[in-house]
Amino acid sequence: MTQDLDKLYRLINYTFNNPALIQQALTHRSKTKAHNERLEFLGDSVLGCVIAEALYHKYPHEDEGILSLLRMYLVRGKTLTDMAKNFELGEFMSFGIGELKSGGHKRSRLLEDAFEALIGAIYLDSDFITAKNCILAWYDEKLNALNIEEHTKDPKSRLQEYLQAAIHMPPNYEVINITGEDHDQTFTVEVSLGSLNQCYRAQGKSRKQAEHGAAKAALKAINNKK
């Protein structure tokens, strides 16, 4: 551990009765055999259950398909990485020398794993209700800010629906540039909004990713003009 655990306890608003659990949760497999992968497995299940229940009660009239998409957004890698960064978990983690030198404390996947392991550790250190209350407190802002339309349809689908209703025309996507080697290309895509005479661009590591980025930029511009 590179920092005092008391600081972490303040950040997560929980104090461990058994410090060995939090130490294991923050230990990468490159450091020792007593690493965090089993706790990550447990924490993943606890997190999924808590978020599923919260969505079930928050949206009593939505079907399981919508709830699944919302849960996917809340437990996706980026969300977990953001949570881990909020708690500065990377600064508390223990790595082997090689992993430490390669910047393991900043690697998104390892931060995701540590966040789930943290949940598993809290569950074992206390009980399900306590772990649930921690998760709901951490996720309070994200749960309150959820937008069903935004998180259950991809940007391309939402842009197409808007244009079909507004001008009865679909958007047109065009790859205008590709750079980089075959194994590491960057695509630049432009989306044209027909008779609205507006175009928006975005880049991505695949054509699909760039198209989604362009659609998202177009939607943001449209919403800002409303």
| DSSP state letters, 161-201 | HHHHHHTS---EEEEEEEES-TTS-EEEEEEE-GGG--EEE
List the catalytic residue out of 40, 112, 116, 125: 116
Q: Which candidate in 44, 99, 125, 211 is catalytic?
A: 44
Of residues 184 and 174, the one with the higher pLDDT is: 174
pLDDT tens-digit readout, 11-70: 999 999 999 999 999 998 888 888 999 999 999 999 999 999 999 999 998 888 788 889
Strand partners, 192: 172, 199
Q: Go through the domains of the chain in sequence order and give each one's CATH number.
A: 5-148 (1.10.1520.10), 155-225 (3.30.160.20)
Q: What is the distance between the alpha carbons of residues 41 and 128, in angstroms, rounded to a whole number?
A: 15
Mark whether 116 is an active-site residue.
Answer: yes
- Say if residue 177's pLDDT is above 70: yes
φ and ψ of 211, to 5 deg: -65, -45
Query: Of the ranges 3-17, 51-65, 112-126, 154-168, which is most confident?
Result: 112-126
Is the per-residue pLDDT at 121 higher than 90?
Answer: yes
What is the C-alpha to C-alpha distance for residues 126 and 115, in angstroms, rounded to an integer?
17
The pLDDT, as a whole number, for residue 103 is 65
| Percent share of the chain, pLDDT over 70 | 93
Would residue 44 show up in a list of annotated catalytic residues for this protein? yes
pLDDT band at 106 (very low <50, low <70, confident <90, very high): low
User: DSSP letters of 22-60?
Assistant: HHHHTB-TTT-SS-SHHHHHHHHHHHHHHHHHHHHHH-T
Contacts 24+ apart (CB under 8 A), 149-157: 151/69, 151/70, 151/73, 152/66, 152/69, 152/70, 154/212, 154/215, 155/212, 155/213, 155/215, 155/216, 155/219, 156/211, 156/212, 156/215
Tokens (6 digits) for 52 = 């599923």
